[in-house]
């Protein structure tokens, strides 16, 4: 009779351990998926950070900043005039 109780206790403990291992395995899979997602997000943010850092370095030069102001916002210094060059259209038809 004593061995029956030992067997039952052994099976109950085994079931609890098995269920615990199963839950840990599921959690491990979810955490790995989350780590992969976060790693991909980190890569995107690092690339964006690198791009912004290079733009900051570019615009630290006053000449580059001035060029950008002129090209995007039609900025002109006082007394500065703008010249617009229009390419000539060539007609190939003879009259």
Residue 8 lies in a domain: yes
Return the pLDDT at 79.
79
Q: Calculate mean pLDDT across residues 32-50.
A: 98
For tokens 């060059």, the residue is 85
Give 68's contacts (C-beta < 8 A, 6+ positions apart).
59
Write out the residue range of the structural domain in which residue 25 sits. 2-73
Residue 65 has pLDDT above 60, yes or no: yes
Structure tokens at 45: 């943010």
- Please tell me the total count of domains within the chain: 1
Structure tokens at 74: 């039609």
Residue 57 lies in a domain: yes
What band does 22 get if pLDDT is binned at 50, 70 and 90? Answer: very high
Residue 23 lies in a domain: yes
Return the pLDDT at 77.
76
Q: Check: CB of residue 59 under 8 Å from CB of residue 68.
A: yes
What band does 94 get if pLDDT is binned at 50, 70 and 90? Answer: low
How many Cβ atoms are within 10 Å of 56's Cβ, its own excluded? Answer: 9
CA 29 vs. chain centroid, Å, equals: 23
Residue 84 lies in a domain: no
Residue 18 has pLDDT above 70, yes or no: yes
């Amino acid at each position: 009779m004593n061995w029956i109780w030992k067997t039952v206790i052994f099976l109950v403990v085994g079931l609890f351990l098995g269920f615990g291992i199963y839950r840990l395995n599921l959690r491990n899979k979810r955490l790995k998926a989350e780590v992969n997602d976060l790693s991909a997000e980190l890569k995107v943010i690092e690339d964006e950070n690198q791009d912004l850092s290079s733009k900051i370095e570019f615009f630290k030069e006053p000449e580059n900043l001035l060029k950008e102001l002129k090209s995007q916002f039609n900025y002109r210094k006082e007394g500065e005039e703008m010249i617009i060059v229009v390419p000539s259209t060539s007609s190939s038809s003879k009259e």
